[in-house]
Amino acid sequence: MNDESRAVRAACDLMTLSARTAPKGKGEDSLAIRTVADDDLERLADAMRGVARRGGSPIFLRDAGNVGASEACLLLGVRGRETVGLDCGGCGYAGCSAMSGAPLLTGTPYGGPNCVLKVTDLGIAVGSAAKTASLLNLDNRVMYTAGVGGLELGWLPGCTVAYGIPVSATGKNIYFDRAAGR
């Protein structure tokens, strides 16, 4: 492993720390975080291509190319079926027990219903991790598609919603000037 690869892995560790310590509703952590690197990057890219082949958006192909060309990808997911017990109704149900008892939505990339506070926690964690990457001058892109790929592979057990943040350290940011399938 070269010096740049080691630096990227260290940055991913700091991104993980930022995500883990990000504020959470009622202070209850329902996040799962995994760093994907080496041969697993191609497995993740293949899972994303599989979603596209099964009728998913063409952006899965474009993003799979970026993930495959990345040095690493941080996956962040949330166990969205866990509730915080506030009965806020943000999920569309009268209360937490009604949401928890509702059947899990199938046939979509994300399984809902999900606690809106838990999904918000995920968004804050993703933003914190991406900010850390940016502060370290590490090229990155938040991708819904990479999160879906991670869920497809079962790499975030119990999670219903996920995002990926692929990272790269090259002379040109690989996440700009992107075309479908590239």
| pLDDT digits 0-9 by tens, 148-166 | 999 999 999 999 999 999 9
Please indicate, yes or no, if residue 97 is contained in any of the structural domains: no
Mean pLDDT of 14-20: 98
**Sign of the CA dihedral with 114 first, then 120, 123, and 129 last:** negative
- How does pLDDT run across 93-146, given as a tens digit for each residue? 999 999 999 999 988 899 899 999 999 999 999 999 999 999 999 999 999 999
Tally of structural domains, the chain: 1
Please indicate, yes or no, if residue 88 is contained in any of the structural domains: no
Please indicate, yes or no, if residue 129 is contained in any of the structural domains: yes
Q: What's 138's domain CATH number? A: 3.40.109.10
- How does pLDDT run across 28-65, given as a tens digit for each residue? 999 999 999 999 999 999 999 999 999 889 999 999 99
Peptide bond into 58 cis (omega under 30): no
Contact between 60 and 47 under an 8 Å Cβ cutoff? The reply is no
Please indicate, yes or no, if residue 100 is contained in any of the structural domains: no
Other Cβ atoms closer than 10 A to 48? 31
Please indicate, yes or no, if residue 84 is contained in any of the structural domains: no
Please indicate, yes or no, if residue 86 is contained in any of the structural domains: no
pLDDT at position 182 is 45
Please indicate, yes or no, if residue 87 is contained in any of the structural domains: no
Contacts of 110 (CB under 8 A, 6+ apart): 80, 148, 151, 160, 161
3-state DSSP assignment of residue 131? helix
pTM of the model: 0.94
Segments forming the whole domain that contains residue 161: 3-76+120-168
Please indicate, yes or no, if residue 127 is contained in any of the structural domains: yes
